[in-house]
Chains A and B, each alone.
Chain A
Amino acid sequence: MDILHTEHKRCTVIKTNGRIDGSNAPDLGKSLKEIMEKGVYNIVFDMTDVNFMASAGWWVLIDTQKNCKPRGEVVLACVDKSIQDSLNLVGMGSYFKIFPDLITAVGSF
């Protein structure tokens, strides 16, 4: 799993591609933990190229959100419609701000 980090003035953008499931969600978690260990708590997860997200991935993001708040937060950008629908279906959409494009997401900090 390739995870790219881009540091901006007020936040860090992370980006990966393809599937996030039980096999690689721990890698995503490790990467997010490394960012927080550097004192960065404003995180944009750019999901432009993520086409599948299982609950294991959502728990990594929930866990990160718990660690970031109240110092900062995780926001999501460019979430695939099916992925967003599944999140809303189980009532977990309210735990994240979701932006339609990356520029707005970065600009929200």
Chain B
Amino acid sequence: MMPTQIFRSDLGNLEKICHFVTIYAKEAGLNERQVYAVQLAVDEAATNIIEHGYRCSGHGDVQITCEPEADGLRVILHDHAPPFDPDEIPEPVTDVPLEDLKPRGLGIFLMRKMMDEVTYEFDAEEGNTLTLVKRK
């Protein structure tokens, strides 16, 4: 059985979420840099679910499953917040003067840049499923 843990949708749980995925990132044999990539990507994904999905209500759940694989780690985040497809968020424009820099989409962009695979699925009954894969 894959290690799964359920966290309340509270930003105060981000550190616990990070601790949980770190255990399995290390167990999967990822190096220090790859472990940080997983920590950051999962943190950004969970923050989005809690802030934008559940609107920081604290009444939702984020279920996280870690699947160590032969060539890396697969992390699956599951929630029942309204649909949130990261593909719909445009990449932030970062080659502009400081005053024109807009605070939107950086978390999603970081998540994509840090991971080898990011896939999103929505099912009316099952909710949102976001799968992140980091290879060695």
Contact = CB atoms under 8 A, between A and B. Distances in A.
A55 B107 contact: yes
A89 B114 contact: yes
B36 A86 contact: yes
A91 B106 CA distance: 10
Contact of A23 (B12, B98, B114): B12
A56 interface: yes
B44 A55 contact: yes
Contacts of B12: 23
Contact of B110 (A23, A86, A95): A86
Number of chain B interface residues as a range: 20 to 34
Contact of A19 (B15, B37, B47, B113): B15
Given A55-B44, A55-B106, A90-B106, A22 B113 contact: no
Interface stretch (A8-16, A36-44, A61-69): A61-69
Interface string B10-51: 011011001000000000000011001101100110010011
Nearest to B112: A90
A82 B90 CA distance: 25
Interface in A33-91: 52, 54-56, 58-59, 62-63, 65-66, 69, 81-82, 85-86, 89-91
Contact of B14 (A23, A58, A86): A23
A12 B9 CA distance: 36
Nearest to B35: A82
Nearest 10 A/B pairs, CB to CB: A91-B94, A82-B36, A23-B11, A55-B106, A22-B47, A55-B107, A59-B103, A22-B11, A21-B14, A89-B113
Interface of B: 11-12, 14-15, 18, 32-33, 36-37, 39-40, 43-44, 47, 50-51, 92, 94-95, 98-99, 101, 103, 106-107, 109-110, 113-114
